[in-house]
Amino acid sequence: MSFKTNFQNVKGTKDILPEESIRWRKAEDIIRKKMMQYNFREIRFPTFESTELFRKSTGESTDIVKKEMFTFEDMGGRSLTLKPEGTPSVVRMFLQHGLFNKGVLQKFYYIERMFRQEKPQKGRYREFRQFGAEVIGSASAEIDAELVKSALDVFEDLNIEGIKLNINSIGCPVCRKDFIRKLKSFLKEKLPDLCEDCNRRYSENPMRILDCKKDKEKIKNAPFPLDFLCDDCKEHFEKFKSYLDYLGIKFNIDSGLVRGLDYYTKTVFEFVHPGLGSQNEVGGGGRYDELIGFMGGGDTPASGYAVGIDRLMLLLPEEEEKYDLDFYLVAFDSESGLLGWKILNELRDKGYSCDKDTMNRSIKAQFREADRQNAKWVIIIGEDERDKGVIQLKNMDKGEQKEVPMDIEKIIGEL
């Protein structure tokens, strides 16, 4: 038999096959456990939102909104977009459901798929998964440090080594004004030399030029936000660093780090791993004290991050994963098959995983299947067993076989 198809998964998407799924499930379990230890509450949000939400909150000048969104019209002519990042949906949910009434401080986490039309390559996909944590309601630098620590704890529990933390502060709208003026005058004469994106950013969001990978060398002497922080932002950044020190977290100050999104204020940070090559960013985040007010809520400080799970998976130590099964039934005839089926279902009720042949395969083929499925025990039933009211229970590891009464408690008692 040959299986062929002309269909392939769409470029930039990924199939996760059963054995690989085990690794994903384990990683997701570790993430959930850690998020709960930090008292983040899980939220899940829709795959698509109104396009306007991302335009407004991610920001018109960002690469995501400019060139990466999967946007389509529904039959009613409404413009919808597959979510490219989580924060806009989190903020929308927070405001729409009046979650501010549930307490001044709200801590959320999510594990969600995101969609961006980027050029696919290793570590960069068009559909990918992120986990993220967001804390709404606190302006404290302690929260920023706590967020960083929660992500680092996940990396540690996943046994991923070598992830580095870069931090910076990009100030607030007050101190940014002065900085942007200085930055623009520095950049003005360099513009003809800079890339097309930087030229566009110059008028839309000049700070983002500091983020440009292509022009990094040309702008290395540019003024940086850190040199323009107001007293409040300076103090916030000092506290953030002192909390990281207190928690024993090593960091590097990257004064060119500004992050891609429009809504960040004060603290920004990213996690990078050199082993990932050009897509070396594992995750990142920062404070967005202005966004909720901008989205129509009251003045509410907030902070959060997102980590790409697909990139984490590339960093996970290789381990061979196998499915296994508690019981496989080998039946000599159809009547024994039916009787065994009942026993399997009783065992399933007790929490065991069980399976059986459904294709009238030979005894040899049934044993082969039990092997292929890594069954721990095989239950063998034939005419003799039926007559005597017993089963043969074979321990596949030891190769030992014994006769056991056809009684669920007795079978379990023999394991």
Q: Which positions touch ligand AMP (CB under 6 A)?
A: 85, 116, 118, 124-125, 128, 130, 260, 281-284, 306-308, 310-311
- Report the nearest approach of ligand AMP to the CB of residue 10 (Å): 14
User: Quick one: 206 or 308, whose CB is closer to ligand AMP?
Assistant: 308
CB closer to ligand AMP out of 56 and 116: 116
Nearest C-alpha neighbor of 357 from the set 336, 385, 388? 336
Helix (H, G, I), strand (E, B) or coil at 71: strand
Minimum CB distance to ligand AMP smaller for 262 or for 357: 262
Distance CA(412)–CA(85), nearest Å, equals: 49
Half-sphere exposure of 135 (CA within 13 A, CB side): 21
Nearer to ligand AMP, 306 or 378 (CB): 306
Is-contact 52 81, C-beta < 8 A? Answer: no
Amino acid at 134: E
Q: How far is the CB of 369 from ligand AMP (least distance, A)?
A: 38
Q: Are 239 and 141 in contact (CB under 8 A)?
A: yes
Kindly state the smallest distance separating residue 130's Cβ from ligand AMP, in Å: 5
Nearer to ligand AMP, 170 or 406 (CB): 170
The answer to whether the CB of 162 falls within 8 A of the CB of 273 is yes
Whose Cβ is closer to ligand AMP: residue 131's or residue 377's? Answer: 131
Least distance CB 59 / ligand AMP (angstroms): 12
Tokens describing residue 110: 């999510």
Taking the complex as a whole, how short is the minimal distance between the CB of residue 230 and ligand AMP, in angstroms?
26
Q: Are 80 and 72 in contact (CB under 8 A)?
A: yes
Min dist CB 179 to ligand AMP, Å, is 22
Q: Which residues pair with 106 in a beta bridge?
A: 136
Q: Which two tokens stand for residue 327?
A: 């019981």
3-state secondary structure of 107: strand
Q: Which residue is nearest to ligand AMP (CB)?
A: 308
